[in-house]
Structure 1
Amino acid sequence: MEQLTAKEVEALLTQGKTLNIIDVREVEEVAEGKIPGAVNIPLGLVEFRMHKLDKSKEYIMVCRSGGRSGRASQFLESQGFKVINMTGGMLAWEGKKE
């Protein structure tokens, strides 16, 4: 599974790269702040919403600390998606939040 640190993801956003970020935390957690532009799909719903994702795109998975996003990454990878896990999750995120 490919991985990026929170700092690396923040650097890509600062460079103006368009990233497809999926936050797999629960709705209440996301309400406290998420990476700008991230789409919230709670881990338990990933399997049911993956049909809305595009297999030609690459997705960066995010959660609180990196565990749930790692599980989501493994699952989506097994379904043929290109995914990257953001290690350290939102605990390591120092960039802007919305």
Structure 2
Amino acid sequence: MGLFDFLTGNKTEKIKDFQARGAVIIDVRTKGEFQQGAIRGSKNIPLQNINTQIAAIKKLNKPVIVCCASGMRSGSAASILNNQGIETLNGGGWTSLNNKL
């Protein structure tokens, strides 16, 4: 386990835990970015629209893994969703997240 894993916990294990509990993957990139490639089964809700979708996300009644291109936008989305009481994990960039799934 590296220093980063020690400080943040093992993200791969958290991802597996979320998946085991039926997590929904939300990609917060723009529609155009999402159409160029995405994780199969993920939902596209661009970051600028995330606040308008809180009620719909809560209705899913599942933990959420958010991703984007690099992890910056998904970090913002995770903060917004966690502050709304939705159990959310920042999965980071979608390509690296896809490799962990």
- Quick check: which has more Rg, 1 or 2? 2
**Separation in structure 1 between the aligned mates of residue 53 and residue 10 of structure 2, nearest angstrom:** 22
Instruction: Show structure 2 runs of 5+ residues with no match.
Output: 1-7
Q: Is the helix fraction higher in 1 or 2? A: 2
Do residues 26 (structure 1) and 30 (structure 2) align? yes
C-alpha spacing 1:84/1:90, structure 2 compared with 1 (3 Å):
same
With normalisation by structure 2, the TM-score equals 0.72
Q: How many residues get paired?
A: 87
RCO (CA 8 Å, sep 6+): is it higher in 1 or 2? 1
Instruction: Show structure 1 runs of 5+ residues with no match.
Output: none
Q: Is the strand fraction higher in 1 or 2? A: 1
Which aligned pairs between 1:41-80 and structure 2 lie closer than 5 A? 41-54=45-58, 56-80=61-85
Superimposed CA distance per residue, residues 16-40 of structure 1 (whole angstroms, 9 cap, x where no aligned partner) = 8543100000001001110010000
With normalisation by structure 1, the TM-score equals 0.74
**Separation in structure 1 between the aligned mates of residue 9 and residue 85 of structure 2, nearest angstrom:** 14
What's the % identity of the aligned pairs?
A: 33
